[in-house]
Copies of this chain bind each other. A is one copy, B any other.
Amino acid sequence: MYIIKSIKHMRSAIVVVLGMLSPAMASIWPIPFVYTNGTSNTAANNAQITARSPTSPILDAAIRRYNELIEYESFTPPTDYNKRPPATEGSLAGLSVLVIDDDDETLSLDTDESYTLDIPTDGMAKLKASSVYGAMRGMETYSQLLVFNGGSRFIKSTPIHIEDKPMLKHRGLLLDTARNYYPVGDILRTLDAMSFNKMNIFHWHIVDSQSWPVESKTFPDLQSKGAYATNMQYSYKDVQKVINYARLRGIRVIPEFDMPGHTYAVGLSKPEIMSCLNKQPSWDNFAPEPPSGQLNIAKPAARDFAIDIVSEYVRLFPDNVFHLGGDEVNRNCWKEDPDVRAYLGANPEETVESLLVDFYDKLHGAVESLNRTGMTWEETLFHSNYVPPKNTIIQSWIDEASIPKTVAKGYRSIASPASAYYLDCGHGSWLSNVAGTSWCDPFKTWMHIYNFDPMANITSAKERKLVIGAEVALWSEQSDPTVLDARLWPRAAAMAETAWSGKTDSRGHVRTTKEVAQRLHNQRFRMVGRGIMAEPLQPLWCARNPGACFSP
């Protein structure tokens, strides 16, 4: 439908043939929803972006940012190496941006990120969007169309018409800043890289058993005793900087305060509300990894603490969604806890399970009363007796099959299966006496990630609509700033395309990794040029010779 409409507007337009990419489209990642292009080349020495509409500070900042990026960037696709500059049939006069509905700049699941982009063979290119965030997505596409050759800038395959919008509303990246610490600068660079791939959710797994790096005004000792060091902390100012930086790039920040498990670091300042603190050497009876420690669900003070945490941090994190964790709780930790045993002895109608249900109920109730949508790992839904509120967002990680199970129960699902989306996996066990693999080996290659379909085995349209997102995760047992970029990129980009563009093109063809490899090479080399140390996919020879490095 889009294609037909577009063709009417364009002379010399050609429709893309299955698996054949025009030079222009070869440089776009993720691939737009629909597009048509011609066969001309346009000189683009003047590529300046200007606003056609009343602007906002957010739009202004985005235009300034992309104008700067365009000014310093000089990306040449590997396939253009040693080729002559193309003959041009016209000159670009810049890009003018129109945002139709400028009023509501709140970022949420309902934000409209769609845009249309028209690039003529000669004259002014036009970008139209319903929101400033859609405009940013369009500017990113525009920046990717600009390629260098022999000291000059071009847009190939003009005229170009693009109508674009995301398939999934939540295209996320989780970073664990607790097992190892990442300076704010690393997080900001990651947000930049996400924006290059039209990702829109930074899931900040900010605390865990190993450390509590974030400032707390309610309980200052959480940070002073729980952070790794005074220079390994996130102050309120740091957090606000991250949130603002993200917002300017159309990225929501969803904080996760994981409770009641994964909380050893809380015990450094509040041992009185904890169970099974750092049991050694048999930590494996109490926790999935050392150090063990869980909030003591038999103690009202532990529940109050959890609610205080939510109450404090909903004020710091403006996003509508608040992640409560809820993963990997260990029942034995509580069963062996003397306080829990005493409580259960005095209250024979209670069990560990009923205490846990009560804990979840209070916590989710607090989130609701604070006007937030709760998000939680799948265990809360599948491995406890608790029934979360129907609007809770359930994040799957244990099993790909829990995505269809989640939506079958009527809950919204975020797909983060460890088997496909855990970017830290594949580096073997990290326990010092284990020379073998880890539970989540092998390494998830970009092809494996690209092939995964969050919608697999979900046929009903209603249930497919409940799969609202996909999210890659970088857990930090074996990651820290030294490896951040290479662990994330370009593999997170592989997910980003399937989440934005879907697995299938407008003709119903399921894209293959062999077809998209050239575009991902381009995206990877472009990201390296933009300062992101994305790892290489293949020898440079393969990037220059598309289709030559595959298994026959």
A residues bordering B, Cβ < 8 Å? 81, 179-181, 209-211, 228-229, 278, 280-284, 289-291, 426-437, 441-445, 447-448, 450-451, 476-480, 482-483, 485-486, 512-514, 517, 528, 533-542, 545, 548-552
Contacts and interface: CB of A to CB of B under 8 A. Distances in A.
Contacts of A428: 426, 442-445, 447-448
Contact of A432 (B179, B282, B436, B517): B517
Contacts of A448: 428, 435-436
Give the oligomeric copy count. 2
Contact of A442 (B228, B426, B514): B426
B443 A427 contact: yes
Contacts of A539: 179-180, 210, 476-477
B482 A548 contact: no
B528 A478 contact: no
6 smallest A-B Cβ distances: which pairs?
A: A428-B445, A432-B517, A435-B447, A179-B539, A433-B514, A210-B541
B180 A480 contact: no
A451 B278 CA distance: 29
Given A443-B443, A483-B535, A486-B483, A432 B540 contact: no
Given A211-B541, A426-B442, A538-B478, A548 B483 contact: no
Contacts of A538: 430, 432, 477-478
A515 to B, nearest CB: 9
A409 to B, nearest CB: 30
Contact of A443 (B278, B426, B432, B540): B426
Contacts of A450: 435
Contacts of A209: 541
Contact of A540 (B211, B280, B430, B550): B211
Contacts of A431: 549-551
A206 B228 CA distance: 43
Contact of A551 (B181, B284, B443): B284
A444 B539 CA distance: 21
A428 B539 CA distance: 14
A230 B528 CA distance: 19
A270 B180 CA distance: 52
Given A442-B426, A478-B535, A483-B536, A550 B432 contact: yes
